[in-house]
Amino acid sequence: MLIGLNPIFIYMAHRMVDFSYTSEFMLVGVMELAGDFSGVVLQAGVLLLEFGLLLVLHRNKTYLKI
The tens place of each residue's pLDDT in the chain, 66 residues long, gives: 777 889 999 999 999 999 999 999 999 999 999 999 999 999 999 999 999 999 999 999 999 887
What pLDDT score does 43 carry?
96
Q: Can you tell me the distance from the alpha carbon of 6 to that of 8, in angstroms, rounded to the nearest whole number?
A: 6
Q: Which amino acid is at 13?
A: A
Q: What is the 3-state secondary structure (H, E, C) of the chain?
A: CHHHHCHHHHHHHHHHCCHHHHHHHHCHHHHHHHHHHHHHHHHHHHHHHHHHHHHHHHHCCCCCCC
Q: What is the pTM of this model?
A: 0.87
